Structure 1
């Protein structure tokens, strides 16, 4: 199924010029056919940037080879997902593409490799240099409003340091992003830049536009009175071994009135642990229970941190309020690039909310992917919906 919305209101060159396409794996054909179909629909010499959000059922090397064969003049940045977000609703098993046109966007891009050795000071310096060069470019006078998109390898476990370094370096320029999904093939890379397959990498995209835009981040949890303390952890691997000096999984289950055997992804989605910072609560979401009763987290965790158990609020109402505010600010939403945590998808699926949320995505032209973590400003977090919405030219 390929879908091109170039003629739809708000998506043609007379409005934002942002194009999108969705292609699922055909019964006959190859990964090459899927990629080329998407690129032919959205990529041209007039593109400033092309983004590909790819189901992990596709091999990233084959996607990159097809991108190289197509020979797009604009940078093509891609990653695997935990699900694709389209104006048609959530999808699995697709390649979803988005292109930003030169008429409204200008791009500076930097690749960061070997994230295991990522240094905060060096990352800060590199991002600041990129910003200085970007703002000195000729296009910046006509497109003075800038934002940044960050795509991270979700296996690197370095998102906190990366977001902190880049977010602080960019200062007044807002940053949003997401962590790539894990490939279905163990240890297979999950990102690409043009025809290059990337391992243990991050891509920082600094973008200027003459369109009005808003960055946003939302969550729908209420912290409860129950407190707990991380008493033993391995921060480098995001593993918590003990909570309140008890085996982590058993203690978490006990606080919820459950047994260890009851702990599932659905429980984690509905009852994240949250930490208070800067007057707000941020989720520290659990990814899975390990065989030794330790808990694997999506975000940074450390010994001595005091957490609260949270309960889910009204996800749909919260999302409706977000888009209502965006439309009030922008007049109309031409397109939205969205990064939505996989645990939110699990909650929507279990709560029979996918149709309602998909309707909101259709109304607000959302394109993006389900992530293994979201970046907003200087922070890496989980169980949020984060992104950037575009209005009309200022």
Structure 2
């Protein structure tokens, strides 16, 4: 046991938030975790959720987390950027500590995304409900939500999330796909003391505190359409749009030569599929030498993709956060899953500092993702999360 664990013996000050936050920019994993513990640990700490850069040596980070937090459950994932108490960051690790007097949490690890079917999902949800029910702080049905963290390069998000949502029923869910600092090489989730690939973490949270699961984006439909006329579903590669090579059709749509296609253009000129009255973005990951386009979300042959236009992210986000505060009151915390393409767009436009400041003032903690999940749907270029309000009168002490 390290010196950092001594903090767990100290009672939280009267009136302290039930959700503590901490960040470390130290590159040494032992020093970084010790810094987190110095802010998070107290007598009622019951759970830790973290998001970290892949710049950390992950095996060493695992050892440090296991040693310092000992018998306190810890889950998390790698990121494409972090949202800290001071706003946007990179190369850091940020964490949230949950007070067990206000939160009961039950985590599960899905070790094989490719074999996750409805019977597996039902068993997993029944287990999570059973564990939360043992010490439920409020009736489960109306006072629980689920956070999902998935390997962001697994190409399995759609099937896993839809299957899980069917088993969850009315329990709201949200989450994000793990990143790797925009390297697009390997992403990880953390559960049961180690990092995993091609896996997912499912975290059920029960609390008497008011909360709202939400999603928002800053994109509006244009009139231009592209029809997927040839696709490799398993690899999420669109081969043809409007019966032309995909890269050529897309380049013509955005008015740029094929040679200029890259992350900045993809972030500013996304495509979306319409389902009912809503548009769900299908972000492009890369242009390939064979003329195809790789996507972050699943795409099907015959679907119609609508060109989307950006509106100011700051204004959209400010309106969303104000609406949450009007409905919930002052936030204890917002856990946010913010698509890395939104952050890239902000950086290109020189607006990242203003949004970073807004996130800090609004008590948002989270990470930049390779995709977001909301009520069983895998989406891109959104800000998705849960806002948690302050204790109601007569709530837990």
* Structure 1 length-normalised TM: 0.91
Are the equivalent residues in 1 in contact too, given 2:247–2:291 (CA < 8 A)? yes
Query: 1:86: Cα distance to partner?
Result: 1.4
Q: Which runs of 5+ in 1 are unaligned?
A: 1-10
Which has the larger displacement, 194-203 or 314-323?
194-203
Report whether the alignment pairs 1:126 with 2:123: yes
CA distance in 1, matches of 2:70, 2:15: 23
Report whether the alignment pairs 1:280 with 2:278: yes
Q: Which residue of 2 aligns with 1:42?
A: 40
Aligned to 2:346, what secondary structure does the other structure show? Answer: helix
| Structure 1 residues 192 and 294: alpha-carbon distance in aligned structure 2, compared to 1, 3 A threshold | same
Q: Which residue of 1 aligns with 2:337?
A: 339
CA distance in 2, matches of 1:141, 1:24: 37
Q: Which residue of 2 aligns with 1:61?
A: 59
CA distance in 2, matches of 1:170, 1:14: 34
CA distance in 1, matches of 2:215, 2:102: 24
Query: 1:140: Cα distance to partner?
Result: 4.2
Post-superposition Cα deviations, 1:188-247, rounded to whole Å, max 9, x if no partner, equal 552222422212111111111111111110011111111111111111111111111111
Post-superposition Cα deviations, 1:121-175, rounded to whole Å, max 9, x if no partner, equal 2343124313541563242447761111101011211111111111221122110
Q: Which residue of 2 aligns with 1:6?
A: none
Pick aligned residue for 2:353 from 344, 352, 355: 355
Pick aligned residue for 2:90 from 71, 89, 92: 92
Runs of 4+ in 1 over 6 A off after TM superposition: 183-186
Are the equivalent residues in 1 in contact too, given 2:190–2:196 (CA < 8 A)? yes
Which has the larger displacement, 212-221 or 164-173?
164-173
Aligned to 2:307, what secondary structure does the other structure show? Answer: strand
Aligned ranges for residues 295-334 of structure 1 at < 5 Å?
295-334=293-332
CA distance in 1, matches of 2:167, 2:361: 34
Are the equivalent residues in 2 in contact too, given 1:43–1:72 (CA < 8 A)? no
CA distance in 2, matches of 1:55, 1:13: 34
Are the equivalent residues in 2 in contact too, given 1:131–1:170 (CA < 8 A)? no
Q: Which runs of 5+ in 2 are unaligned?
A: 1-11, 393-397
| Structure 1 residues 290 and 186: alpha-carbon distance in aligned structure 2, compared to 1, 3 A threshold | closer
Are the equivalent residues in 1 in contact too, given 2:149–2:175 (CA < 8 A)? yes
CA distance in 2, matches of 1:184, 1:251: 25
Query: 1:315: Cα distance to partner?
Result: 1.1
| Structure 1 residues 24 and 113: alpha-carbon distance in aligned structure 2, compared to 1, 3 A threshold | same
Post-superposition Cα deviations, 1:34-69, rounded to whole Å, max 9, x if no partner, equal 122213321345222211111111122111111122
| Structure 1 residues 286 and 39: alpha-carbon distance in aligned structure 2, compared to 1, 3 A threshold | same
* Structure 2 length-normalised TM: 0.91
Query: 1:105: Cα distance to partner?
Result: 0.3
Report whether the alignment pairs 1:377 with 2:378: no
| Structure 1 residues 43 and 168: alpha-carbon distance in aligned structure 2, compared to 1, 3 A threshold | farther
Pick aligned residue for 2:143 from 142, 145, 148: 145
Which has the larger displacement, 235-244 or 141-150?
141-150
Aligned ranges for residues 177-216 of structure 1 at < 5 Å?
177-182=175-180, 190-216=188-214
Pick aligned residue for 1:110 from 95, 108, 111: 108
CA distance in 2, matches of 1:102, 1:35: 21
Coordinate RMSD, CA, aligned:
2.1
Aligned length: 381
Query: 1:115: Cα distance to partner?
Result: 1.4
CA distance in 2, matches of 1:12, 1:252: 57
Aligned to 1:176, what secondary structure does the other structure show? Answer: strand
CA distance in 1, matches of 2:17, 2:166: 30
Aligned to 2:83, what secondary structure does the other structure show? Answer: strand
Are the equivalent residues in 1 in contact too, given 2:21–2:85 (CA < 8 A)? no
CA distance in 2, matches of 1:275, 1:141: 38
Post-superposition Cα deviations, 1:320-345, rounded to whole Å, max 9, x if no partner, equal 10011011011111111000001000
Are the equivalent residues in 2 in contact too, given 1:134–1:206 (CA < 8 A)? no
Aligned to 2:350, what secondary structure does the other structure show? Answer: coil
